[in-house]
Amino acid sequence: KQEVTQIPAALSVPEGENLVLNCSFTDSAIYNLQWFRQDPGKGLTSLLLIQSSQREQTSGRLNASLDKSSGRSTLYIAASQPGDSATYLCAVTRQAAGNKLTFGGGTRVLVKP
Amino acid sequence: EPEVTQTPSHQVTQMGQEVILRCVPISNHLYFYWYRQILGQKVEFLVSFYNNEISEKSEIFDDQFSVERPDGSNFTLKIRSTKLEDSAMYFCASSVPGQGGKLFFGSGTQLSVL
């Protein structure tokens, strides 16, 4: 059974510092890994999707890496801003479509002005 | 950008009552999902739906739950007799082949069972 873990559970940094969020999964037979952002009481916004054959994906200040063989992904957020304060979730799936995502517990980020 | 729409955003019900949560997936999507998140816990998969039938369900999705796509645009989750432990945020999602398995989530329905 796939288990996804995110460490740390919470993180507080001053504005401008780079953020490093970690995600690990126990079963390396994944199809893709997604990073989501969740604001309090809100839905899930997809940030980045990495296919199992890829090593990284970038979007603006966000960069996600994937080491499938070791069961790890890292989300980097450069030059953090107070607006980056949210919970960040990673999730993996085994198949291209119609298959469930297994989520980590999230990392709650606070960026202090 | 197209989005998944969920209604209502909040639902309060009495224990034992039936509730129906509604979702309008993105129009050309073919796979539909329900997830839930109990306060302070992980987001959990409930069910996936394709070609008018359930393709996968979790152990949470027991006989109290059912899903339906009644009219080609709506996708509903029914809980027949709600329990206190059904209180959670329920998320609908949809996906389409060719996008690498990317799921698009709605903003959720917060269900409170009293």
Q: What is the mean pLDDT of residues B71-91?
A: 94
Taking CA–CA distances from B94, the nearest residue in chain A reads A98
Q: How confident is the model at residue B71 (pLDDT cuts 50, 70, 90)?
A: confident
**Residue B7 reports pLDDT greater than 80:** yes
CB-based contact B100:B51 (threshold 8 Å): no
Burial of B4 (0-12, 13-18, 19+ CB in 10 A): buried
| pLDDT for residue A56 | 95
Kindly determine whether residue A44 and residue B105, on different chains, have CB atoms separated by under 8 Å: yes
Mean pLDDT in residue range B57-79: 93
* Measured distance CA(B111)–CA(A75) in Å, rounded: 31
More confident residue, B73 or A105: A105
Q: How much is the pLDDT for A97?
A: 67
Coil/strand/helix, residue A39: coil
Higher pLDDT, A99 or A60: A60
Chain A CB contacts of B95 under 8 Å are 97-98
Mention every residue, 6+ apart, whose C-beta is less than 8 A from residue B70: B76
> What is the sign of the dihedral through the CA atoms of B111, A104, A63 and A20?
positive
Q: Write the single-letter amino acid at B37.
A: Q
Q: CA A38, B104, A103, B69 torsion: positive or negative?
A: positive
